[in-house]
Amino acid sequence: MKSKKGAFPFNIMVVVALTALLIYAWIQLDSKYNGTFERYLGEKQYDLIKTYQKGEQVLFYIDQSAKYSLEQSVYDLAKSGGISEIEVSDAETFAGHECGKFNDAYVWYQIGKQGDAYAPKNCFDENSAKDNLGYLFNNNLNKYLLSYPIDIPTNNYRYEFKNNLEIIGLAALPININIFKKEVPEDFSTATRDVKPKPLDIKQLDKDTTKPSEGFRDFTGTDLCAKGSQCVLKEDAFQQLVKAQDAAVKKGISIEVYSAYRSSERQQALWNGDTPERYAQRYPDPAVRVKYVCNPAGREIKCPHLSGDVVDIRLKGKTTGTMSSADWNSLYSIMTSADSNNQPLWVKYSNEPWHFECCNTPRYAREIQQGVTSIV
């Protein structure tokens, strides 16, 4: 047998060498990254668990909100006699009931005189009551969703009615909870409640936004996007929006987008009446409906919102219904302010003071060439 006396010293030497190597590596890493580690070991994993819990809390909140919204909607529908004047989402006006009201009650049956004869008119369709209930339910649900601390998409469900009062909501968009987003606790003290808008923190904005596909930027959940809205733009348009916000801050105000890029499927659903806006139900005649929503079929130039270079926008803290003439003028001044090339950042569609286009839309190129800032 061979002697094994040399094996023990050899093993000791390997251990010593390996230990020295590990110590050297640790010293090198420590000197290179000393003080640059922002998070403790395991902190990301813990954040992931917290995010899962937040998701469960959101789903529970939506379920309870739907329960209360349905109860309120049934009451509202009964109070109005099964009829609801559906609100036009942009202008926040109403598509009025065809027979109007009498003593603040909707008219179900009307008799009108035509010459020497009387012509009866039935103004209530039992089948429309379900549509009216769905509309009221969606509005009531939106109020709950907007009250939740986390950004939950509104007008996000396609409803199916089963067994009389059973409503199944199928979500179009997921709820996104950014695990990396920096959480800042809200301070409701008097000293900080009315602080003037501050310039955007570009580094933080880059962290809070995502790039869902090449050339696009998703800024949902940021200060530039209205709560409950889905906000996606092409990168060039997003940068123009950032410049417009900088111009707004100089005036002591902020702006927020409530509608931006739409997929062709979303636009088709709007036209078909498969969304809570229910354009097809309110305006069955396509010649009338096209005044309120773009028909994506049979157009040489696609609907503007499909481009990713269009926004529907307002002053932060306002709705399109509460925007005054002075507010619209301020918004117009901000959005059409000049860039470094002395060209307007955006141009406005004259029929809709909330609608602005930029960058690569044909109408923007045409107005820039003509030297104007309003699309006629």
**pLDDT single digits (tens) 307-327:** 999 999 999 988 888 999 999
Q: Where in the chain is the domain with CATH 3.30.1380?
A: 194-262+303-375
Q: What is the pLDDT at residue 319?
A: 87
167 with 160: CB under 8 angstroms? Answer: yes
Q: The domain 194-262+303-375 is classified under which CATH number: 3.30.1380, 3.40.50, 1.10.20, 1.10.1740?
A: 3.30.1380
Q: What is the pLDDT at residue 38?
A: 64
Q: What is the pLDDT at residue 191?
A: 40
pLDDT digits (tens, 9 = 90+) for 134-186: 888 998 999 999 999 888 999 888 888 777 667 888 888 888 887 766 555 54
3-state SS track over 221-239: CCCCECCCCCCEEEHHHHH
Q: What is the pLDDT at residue 180?
A: 64
Evaluate the CA torsion angle 275, 278, 281, 284 in order and state its sign: negative
Q: What is the pLDDT at residue 188?
A: 40
pTM (predicted TM-score): 0.73
Q: How many CB atoms lie within 10 A of CB 354?
A: 19
C-alpha to C-alpha distance for 112 and 119, rounded to whole angstroms? 5
Question: Which residues are within 8 A (CB) of 139 and not within 5 positions of it... i.e. 6 or more apart?
Answer: 87, 276
C-alpha to C-alpha distance for 221 and 242, rounded to whole angstroms? 15
In this prediction, the residues of the chain whose per-residue pLDDT falls under 70 are 1-10, 32-39, 85-98, 164-165, 180-196, 298-301
Mean pLDDT of the chain: 83
Question: Which residues are within 8 A (CB) of 144 and not within 5 positions of it... i.e. 6 or more apart?
Answer: 61, 65, 68, 69
Distances (CA, A) of 131 to 126, 136, 266: 10, 9, 20
